Structure 1
């Protein structure tokens, strides 16, 4: 065998060995590639199940929002592979579970739903509430009592202390009487069941425990929060809520005139920031026959008034827990036109003092935790749900942090 023949054999041998090594590497990498392909396919199936479950949540949320009080189940959303479950946690929080199951994959996702409904009560107070003198309250009808033609009614809902005091030596009283439903008709004078009609003629103090003087129309509710039910939005959205209102800076003189001018110029919703002295309150007068109902919000300020006035609308007094530090110095009230009428009523925690009569048809809400609200005079508070123009139906929304909030 010559030299050239041996050279060709060597080249062939080396080439064959390289091909064999390349084949071994190819077989090894193919196994890894096959594994990656399987993982990719599984990931695709998992993501399909995930998005199917999230789509189920959207479907379930929409179906519940449409049906609300008539909700009986997810008839439109449930399929052989998708199962939705709704679990009440509290009266305002629901847990919605979406479960996707098939032969290739499965996925469970849970989210939270908030349900905000308007809190019942003609007067609602998170502050201490003191009524002095002759107070007539037309309560809010809530629900018909089974087997009767009479209603459960709510006059006052409070979360702290409730006080009633007589004025002078007369036996004046606070009386929860028939609601504002054609009051001239005799049948309407007893629409509220007798167990929901409180009459007080003596000094009364209640912290919600064992007070036999108050009947069922006075509700002690330690945890109630009227904000979401009133505005139909969460507290975290207060900046957005405020943009829907005509904004006013409160003053210690003539605040009622400034507010009245805003209403007369066509604004149905007014938001006042800071201290506000309503004085006689005559600037707030709105004729219910010729005017639309209004909403008046006071934020982070002390409020005073001494006159008697009717207001066709709802009033909401809001104080952020960090905006006012107690005790409030008496000097803060000085300079108000009402000061001479309210000076003997001012206490360390006073945030709202009415020495007259503020007959507000659409409800009085005092969202002023830690404060004291005082109303002295002859109030004829005729509650009428139609005098509040804000939506009355339950609002359904995802709880922030449990869904895509962007």
Structure 2
């Protein structure tokens, strides 16, 4: 009996030793497995942190573009995901945006470049130029490279530009511009010197020997943003009128509830051609720098006469909204001009689609002494039949409309006359992070 008990103990001891060995081996392999699992989890978390941080950079860029920022704001974290622990500019470089999630931090450098020199005249409407004498456009330069290479854009257009030559007429872009910098060596490409009739259309065709590269066809032209520095929305238009402009409303409601124009003479069924220019002159003379006119603006007597003293530049803005603009007198305006039309306001809702009966009715009300019958077309919205060349540029925003400039012109364009900040192009600097 004693021998049997001893044999069982040895067997149990051997089995226990084997089990312990197997357990040790198993635990060793599990340790490696657990390490690999933990490493994989850390890698997944690291990639999650990386892409959340990358999303933070993109969010920050989007917020700046949406708000037309001119620098990296300090409150971006409030506008983006609250999962980010940090989204701010670098302390070493104010143009580097840093996004941090947990222990992961990535950054990109942002380029801020203004859009100056986009064009002395920017036209969403079709543009017709009738030169009865010399028409000169002196553009503001936009540097496009090193060694003094500049773009010299006279007109940036969305639809088309037509030049009709009168007796002795011509259309020329001044080169070199009068205020060219000392390193100016010439315009990037040829500029227009036109003494013939020609048309450049939305297709971008340039008749040989006619319009040159200083007339730029731009299918993405956003005159509103180029002028005001903000997006063209109803809210932004209302905010500008409420907060920044002296509003002159030429439309009133009579005792019968009908909308009437304050410049309209019911005896002659014509505009007098006085109220718009008189109120504009009075507002600017009273110290206002931004004036917004609502309704048809007919300038006859008196002319618009807002002039700076020699050697000074006073930024001013004149906007005419939802009405024709007709200038029949030699007007001077040291400021920037914007003509804004929602063409639907001229449609007769009882007529066919795109009916412009109400637009034609506005032109029919011009004073008899302003005979524009040969100039008015079905879609005419702007006619300057006498000198009116705002030094801060002419912006013609009537999509589907026609703007006509007739006579002579010496448009010495300077963007400094526009009180609104130039729009800023915001983009990542190539090579500042990973470019694919």
TM-score range (shorter-chain normalised) is 0.5 to 0.7
Is 1:138–2:138 an aligned residue pair?
yes
The one-character-per-residue Cα deviations of 1:86-108 (angstroms, maximum 9, x if unpaired) are 999xxx9xxxxxxxxxxxxxxxx
- In the TM superposition, 1:284-323 aligns within 5 A as 284-289=305-310, 292-323=314-345
Aligned with 2:227: secondary structure?
A: helix
The one-character-per-residue Cα deviations of 1:383-405 (angstroms, maximum 9, x if unpaired) are 112211211251779xxxxxxxx
Is 1:357–2:387 an aligned residue pair?
yes
Looking at structure 2, the residues matched to 386 and 303 of structure 1 have their Cα atoms a distance apart, in angstroms, of 24
Instruction: Give 1:211 deviation, angstroms.
Output: 2.8
377-386 vs 223-232, greater mean Cα deviation = 223-232
Looking at structure 1, the residues matched to 173 and 52 of structure 2 have their Cα atoms a distance apart, in angstroms, of 54
Assess if the C-alpha contact under 8 Å between 1:129 and 1:162 holds in 2: yes
Assess if the C-alpha contact under 8 Å between 1:268 and 1:295 holds in 2: yes
Aligned length: 319
Assess if the C-alpha contact under 8 Å between 2:97 and 2:107 holds in 1: no
- In the TM superposition, 1:176-325 aligns within 5 A as 176-178=173-175, 181-182=178-179, 192-193=186-187, 195-207=189-201, 208-212=204-208, 213-236=210-233, 237-243=236-242, 244-250=244-250, 251=263, 252=271, 253-254=273-274, 255-279=276-300, 282-289=303-310, 292-325=314-347
The one-character-per-residue Cα deviations of 1:61-97 (angstroms, maximum 9, x if unpaired) are 67985369x9998464356424467999xxx9xxxxx
Aligned with 2:99: secondary structure?
A: coil
Looking at structure 2, the residues matched to 146 and 273 of structure 1 have their Cα atoms a distance apart, in angstroms, of 44
Matched with 1:33 is none
Assess if the C-alpha contact under 8 Å between 1:179 and 1:382 holds in 2: no
Looking at structure 2, the residues matched to 299 and 72 of structure 1 have their Cα atoms a distance apart, in angstroms, of 39
Looking at structure 2, the residues matched to 280 and 196 of structure 1 have their Cα atoms a distance apart, in angstroms, of 40
Assess if the C-alpha contact under 8 Å between 2:96 and 2:109 holds in 1: no
| TM-score, normalised via structure 1 length | 0.68
- The CA RMSD measured in Å over matched residues stands at 3.8
Looking at structure 2, the residues matched to 127 and 314 of structure 1 have their Cα atoms a distance apart, in angstroms, of 17
Instruction: Give 1:334 deviation, angstroms.
Output: 2.9
The one-character-per-residue Cα deviations of 1:16-65 (angstroms, maximum 9, x if unpaired) are xxxxxxxxxxxxxxxxxxxxxxxxxxxxx9xx989988876676667985
Matched with 2:403 is 373
The one-character-per-residue Cα deviations of 1:133-192 (angstroms, maximum 9, x if unpaired) are 131100121115544x3522100011111100112xx24100000365448x9x79x764
| 1:65–1:374 CA distance, 2 compared to 1 (3 A) | closer
Assess if the C-alpha contact under 8 Å between 1:357 and 1:377 holds in 2: yes
In structure 1, runs of 5+ residues without a counterpart are: 1-44, 93-114, 398-406
| 1:321–1:347 CA distance, 2 compared to 1 (3 A) | closer
Matched with 2:84 is none
- In the TM superposition, 1:50-65 aligns within 5 A as none
- In the TM superposition, 1:72-221 aligns within 5 A as 74=96, 76-78=98-100, 80-83=103-106, 117=115, 120-133=118-131, 134-147=134-147, 149-167=148-166, 170-178=167-175, 181-182=178-179, 192-193=186-187, 195-207=189-201, 208-212=204-208, 213-221=210-218
Aligned with 2:292: secondary structure?
A: strand
Assess if the C-alpha contact under 8 Å between 1:249 and 1:272 holds in 2: yes
| TM-score, normalised via structure 2 length | 0.63
Assess if the C-alpha contact under 8 Å between 1:53 and 1:82 holds in 2: no
| 1:388–1:59 CA distance, 2 compared to 1 (3 A) | closer
Looking at structure 1, the residues matched to 302 and 185 of structure 2 have their Cα atoms a distance apart, in angstroms, of 32
The one-character-per-residue Cα deviations of 1:299-339 (angstroms, maximum 9, x if unpaired) are 11101012222211100001124222343453321333476
245-254 vs 156-165, greater mean Cα deviation = 245-254
